[in-house]
Chain A
Amino acid sequence: MSYTDIHFLNTVTPGFVRFDASPAGGRLIFSDQTPYAIYVSVPANQAFAGSPAKELFDRLTELKSKYSTAWLPYSRPPNEGAFQNARDFVLTLPLNRIAKPAIHVASDGEVNFQWSGPDFQIDLGFYGNGKFSFYATKTGCAPVIGDEVPVKQGIPQPLVDFASAV
């Protein structure tokens, strides 16, 4: 069986650049003010080709092609920005600690990430404005609500704690 190499390209923004290879327990963060795009090509192997991050990217690609036009009366497909924000957000997820979210598209153009556990719920979504909002609840904890959180900030720590298996 052959696998396709995986290529990452960072977003050229001041600040940090983060590459995540959670299944391998690896993560690389560059703190730099680089004006250049950085390409990283990872040779394919079975472990990486089956990674949760890649599965999430594949799911986003599938949804983008599936919902390219309005599919119901009064519905609106997500814009490219919403998918890009979702992809950028996936790179911030510590998938070695938390389960993959279910990803769906809502009829108002939202790309929605949902985590459902036995004692917690997280609802988080993107509309393509570079920000996201979320609601998270866990038994015995106060709910956490966030609005207009910049995507580049990544997943808030309380959400990681809620969804973390450890």
Chain B
Amino acid sequence: MPPEPHRDEHTSASRWFSPGLVQSDEIVLRTVLDPDHLEPNGNLAAAAISLEDIRFRGWSVDRKRFTCLWRVRFFHSGWKKRRPNIRRFYVLPLPVGVIRQPDPATGQQQFVVTDAAKWLNPAHAHVLLSASQGEGAARGYRTKLLQRLPPYVDVATAFTPVDKHGCVRGMLKQFGAIVVAAADYVRRRLGLGT
């Protein structure tokens, strides 16, 4: 069994690089590959969301607030080189509030969205099941999540002109987080308290 992942939305999984916790009014973006992730009729396939991701590893998304069009396209061009038979790239613009919606039947939150910033990718976040689940149950949550997802869109239409500074905003926030975390670390090493 893989190690228990970070499922706490109130703390960052990556304090040193974090631009801040993921807010419910944010949009996160997930890349969709045509044809790998699509049914012949164009619907999103269940396999577009791997069970291991939502159960253990975290389903990777990018926070739109801290990324920008050129950066997403840069990643896509890298994937295209690696896998030339990808026909087209789309993105799912996912409202975090929708992912966090509780199950109407149980009132329990099914999915969490956690900050999982990486060095030079402050926008990185994870979507995970809110608690450990078996494989069959996880399939059920995946099915319900798929029903709540908005339609995928062309990458360019996911961004507006006001989003063009997202990368810079993210990098500045990350730089600030590194300075704060480093200062905190030094304080603790010197026994000065937090």
Tell me whether A and B are bound partners.
yes
Interface of chain A: mostly helix, strand, loop or mixed: strand
Q: How distant is A136 from chain B, measured CB to nearest CB, in Å?
A: 9
| Distance in angstroms between the alpha carbons of A148 and B134 in the assembled complex | 10
| Distance in angstroms between the alpha carbons of A86 and B87 in the assembled complex | 26
How many contacting A-B pairs (Cβ < 8 A)? 77
Q: Does B186 have its Cβ within 8 Å of any Cβ on chain A?
A: no
Q: Classify chain B's interface size.
A: 20 to 34
Residue in A closest to B137 when the chains form the complex, CB atoms: A145
**A112 and B134 within 8 A (CB):** no
Digit string of B65-103 for contact with A (CB within 8 Å is 1, else 0)?
000000000000001001101000000000000000000
**B47 and A110 within 8 A (CB):** yes
| Distance in angstroms between the alpha carbons of A112 and B82 in the assembled complex | 23
**Chain A stretch 121-135: residues in CB contact (< 8 A) with chain B:** 121, 123-125, 133-135
Chain B contacts of A123 at CB under 8 A? 46, 139-140, 142-143
Give B residues with C-beta under 8 Å from A. 36-37, 39-40, 43, 45-53, 57, 79, 82-83, 85, 134-137, 139-140, 142-143
* 6 new A-B contacts at CB < 8 Å, known A108-B53, A123-B46, A137-B143: A72-B82, A72-B83, A114-B45, A114-B47, A125-B139, A147-B134
